[in-house]
Structure 1
Amino acid sequence: MRLLDAQVCDGELLLVLHGTPAEMFGAKAAIADMLGCPVHLVTAGMLRRIRGGQRKAGESTLEFLARIAIIDTIAGNPSADEPVIVRRPGVMSGDPVFYGTSVPPGPIFSMLVEKSANEIVRSDYPSMSQEIIKAALQQACRLLERAAPWVEQW
């Protein structure tokens, strides 16, 4: 198990850990016992939002964490912040591909105009999953939202 990041928030310790659930929850309990303070497990994305200061007035640390987790769940955001579409030397000449495959995202995104993710997986790319396609679309949307230009008028 590895400690990836930590932050103290109103006297409570927030940890980003990598390991099995048993390891992470065991570490959480041991650290809480040693330090005598509340300890919470969070994702790297949650910790970034906490550092970004998007907390509501009067909201406890636990309420804030719960709100972030609920928003991510409703939005369908993957809990991990691992990229779904990547470039890797020696794979497809460095062109973008779905992580762990040599499948480029362009053809799949183009097919989504006329086919569902289920149809694409079933008939065209059986090595892919609907979940990975959905995660890629969610990440693509977030990137497009971040890169959206400001305009003065329609």
Structure 2
Amino acid sequence: MAETLSVTEMIPNKFESKRGNRWVFAIEGIDAFLMKTANRPTYSSTPQTIKWINSERHVAGRMTFNDISCTLHDPIAPSGAQQVMEWVRTHHESVSGRAGYADFYKRDCQLKLLDPVGTVVELWDIKGAFITSANFGSLSYDSENLMEIVLTLKYDNCVLQY
């Protein structure tokens, strides 16, 4: 027999949504308080088709983690540009032309979402991240904008711990 639920049984008593303004993105060598915006990890999978006689069947293909974009504040001190360039120099040193070993430029990061009192309620471990693009912004005498740095990060893997 079907059961009818009351309104109080359908409304969750303890519900607190995660907020887009409570998070910390920890990257070794970059002060976490410089982070202004960041994306949570995303992935995509290209379906593979198995053809058999007059029909097709589809299965999941390789999973690819998509790039993460983040924006940093660029204060005078500590210099956000200097912190980013120190990481970039481990990828490629523009003065000498030498490239770096992956072991030196790949970094593990953590993206932590927080509850109202600061407890970590969601933890992403991002493995093998490196910079694929760094945009240090444009300058104009007409502008009063605060300086920002936009980074694009490629990474090998990520795991949602909780």
TM-score normalised by L of structure 2:
0.19
When Rg is computed on C-alpha atoms for both structures, the one with the higher figure is 2
Greater RCO (Cα-Cα under 8 Å, separation 6 or more): 2
Q: If each structure's helix is expressed as a fraction of its own residues, which one has the higher value?
A: 1
